[in-house]
A and B are shown apart, each in its own frame.
Chain A
């Protein structure tokens, strides 16, 4: 009788202590688990977290921006798969641009395999993949009196609307060329162009413990063990007094 009481008190005390000590970790596991299960509904798919310390923690090499493409009214700075277009971030996982040109009320950013056609206000009108280009890869982009001009492996082509292309001549084309950024400009833009870590990946690493490095998963294993022990001790604390009362 005394031994059972002693055991019950000991268990209750340690059940509470272990539960309290592991509370923060269990909360992290529960919240990250819930978010992972409902990532789509929460709109987490495709989202990234951009922070220098996080990129460093993950060992992702951050390239500082080095050059800027400028046309009459627009400017583009690119680094780490991100574009700063007219001072605004424009999407993720974007290719390295080869130039920027504008004509009438549109402006176009070219990479070697795609064109991004924008309205004057920066809204994306259309992305043209290799199938929609008159030639590929794109080696340079420029503008002339007749429209946007592309220099590709298949020749030089011009278009006024980036829809239909016709062969063109190289004369009187103003080709887009990068200009070097000053040191102060690089520093100013570097933070905005920090590489990102996918939110899903971050949650997964927090949930599995990998975020903390090599020993993180072992800590999570230990927590799983603690959770199992808490379940058993909880069941014991719940059932034993009732069984005892039932006998009397």
Chain B
């Protein structure tokens, strides 16, 4: 019986001209966005790989020079693109792509790709995620708004109930029918997406992060299921198809277009961030704290004197200049950790507000999960920022240790390639799926809540189904 209801629902939907047009448009846009995403991903990866190799070669090919000059010359870290960024570019256009890793300073990531585009991008970029998060829900509204109310208006609902069909069956059948109609659009796109995903992974067909992909598919499917249930529940409850449509469209508008903006402004009002001037000024004030620097050097000097049983810097078996440079780094590192840590946790608190706002608008929960799984959310950006910073600190340690070891008093000390090679290449591995999920667990719970809630809503709405 259920399958018969589902088949009837599917037939009715697929015969509707509006469905056909909308399905064709959504499918076309989904494929287009995937194709463009794939192209952008491959271009970016190529450009970044080239730049990475170049910055490494520049580091290794430095002339003979003092290690500290080499540290000042430094290296660049380029933010890699994750493979699933071809579906969801997330915050990537809005964070810098490169950071200069030099002595004494944690620099900020520079060159946000969004600055190289026109104002029109603020309408949203036609990425796969945008189609899935904004257009598909609208498509679901269109398929479901008249499912019950339309039958009620035509009088077929009364006939159906007179046959003794349990209303719950009716609901399940309609969900199934809508799901198949939706699947007709999603399936080809997913298949093509999977092929593109596997194709573009560097290390063979199975090299991509399949777990992330599977999670992403699951998240979107749960979201669409929840929206289908909401659509059907509203249709079962509403006075007429017209009211049902208005209610659902209002929900769609608020959920997909208003909520992200409104929630983001609320988050900023709750946790305000400093301006760059303020940030820089506070940072520099702490950095130039000479007393703290002197205190650290005194402690270090005393420890070294005790260790080597001497009473003057000149009598030390190592060059104190290297020690003092490293002490300067340690002092600066603490300051950077404090200031950048504070700024980043402000962002994280803002993002937490956005996640909580998912309680009012499920799209926000889906968006944060989708970005997380695509590897393009703030947490993963922060992870990369930290990795680059740790690498920079590693360079300083190697250079300063070498100065301490080899610098002789009154001589010019120059190091060569053998030292440059001691700094290993910067390899970054993206965090595991489990780490990502743990970071967006709140969104996951909220999304699960929405899907359960909407299923309950549907079952209650159909239990009280009015036949006219």
Are A and B subunits of one complex?
no
Q: State the B residues within 8 Å of A (CB).
A: none
Q: State the A residues within 8 Å of B (CB).
A: none
